[in-house]
Amino acid sequence: MEPQLIANTRCRTGEGPLWHPDREIVYWVDIPRGRLFSYDPATGEHELRYEDSVISALTLQADGSLLLFMDRGRILRWDDDSTTPVVDGIPAERDSRFNDVIADPEGRIFCGTMPTDDRLGRLYRLDRDGSIVELDDGYDIPNGMGFTPDGTGLYLTESNARRIYRFEYDATTGDLSDRRVFVETPEHDGVPDGMTVDADGNVWSARWNGHRVVRYAPDGTVIGRIELPVKKVSCPTFGGSNYADLYVTTAGGDDEGDEAGALFRISEAGSGVPEFRSRIAT
């Protein structure tokens, strides 16, 4: 499986790839430059779609629009050229930003925020009515998340601790419980970053400073690696008409080489599933 460079946007921190099945394009962001990009595999063209101060992550709403997760706890609804504030900010995050997020089967969103100089990161849940609940804290960069295929578990990455956790998840209430370590990654293997879960329950975890995406079986056994030609590999997602293509964002576009910060595609890499759509009142 050879990675193909498909959009050389030289992102400083490319992140958050998300396949939009209605439009058959993939979106992703460059976090510190606040840029939202899209790539259309039918034409082979990519374009800059929106710019703001910081955009960290995104979800696909039920109506086809996107929610953009930003600095200071801000959340914005974006639909082509139209934007609508959804959350003006979270007072406790005025000196931070969102990091990774994921929509759950009921349309809620789990959201991690970055550490600051005097505290570690937090995990929130954004409920469908727009209210925000703090679920947990003390994370040294809360990062990639994904649900088990049976809908009973949520994975959450803690990057600098080099761990991926598994929670028990209650779809009815949105509650998380019984956190345990799914895998603890070795120091020589880069830092675990974004992730996705395929139809068979395998976990695909990107490696910041590790040049690769690592695939784990549901029992935590390493069953595959895909090497990329850049050091800072940030997040994978499945896309395409049959969700067999793996799209991977990377970072380091300022100083890590010609292909750093590009979007890559690995064709026929596996069997992915659509991400759940958020259903947040706007």
Could you read off the pLDDT tens digit of each residue along the chain, which spans 282 residues? 799 999 999 999 999 999 999 999 999 999 999 999 999 999 999 999 999 999 999 999 999 999 999 999 999 999 998 999 999 999 999 999 999 999 999 999 999 999 999 999 999 999 999 999 999 999 999 999 999 999 999 999 999 999 999 999 999 999 999 999 999 999 899 999 999 999 999 999 999 999 999 999 999 999 999 999 999 999 999 999 999 999 999 999 877 778 999 999 999 999 999 999 999 998
Compute CA distances 214 → 151, 232, 237, whole Å. 22, 13, 13
Hey, where are the domains in the chain? 4-266
Q: Please, are residues 255 and 18 in contact by the beta-carbon 8 Å criterion?
A: no
Judged on CB neighbours under 10 Å (0-12, 13-18, 19+), 112 is: buried
Q: Please, are residues 254 and 22 in contact by the beta-carbon 8 Å criterion?
A: no
Question: Which positions are catalytic?
Answer: 193
Nearest Cα to Cα of residue 235 among 271, 257, 255, 261: 261
Q: What's the confidence (pLDDT) of residue 255?
A: 72
Rounded to two decimals, the pTM is 0.97
Q: Please, are residues 219 and 229 in contact by the beta-carbon 8 Å criterion?
A: no
Q: What's the confidence (pLDDT) of residue 150?
A: 96
DSSP structure class, residue 232: -
- CATH top-level class for 4-266? mainly beta
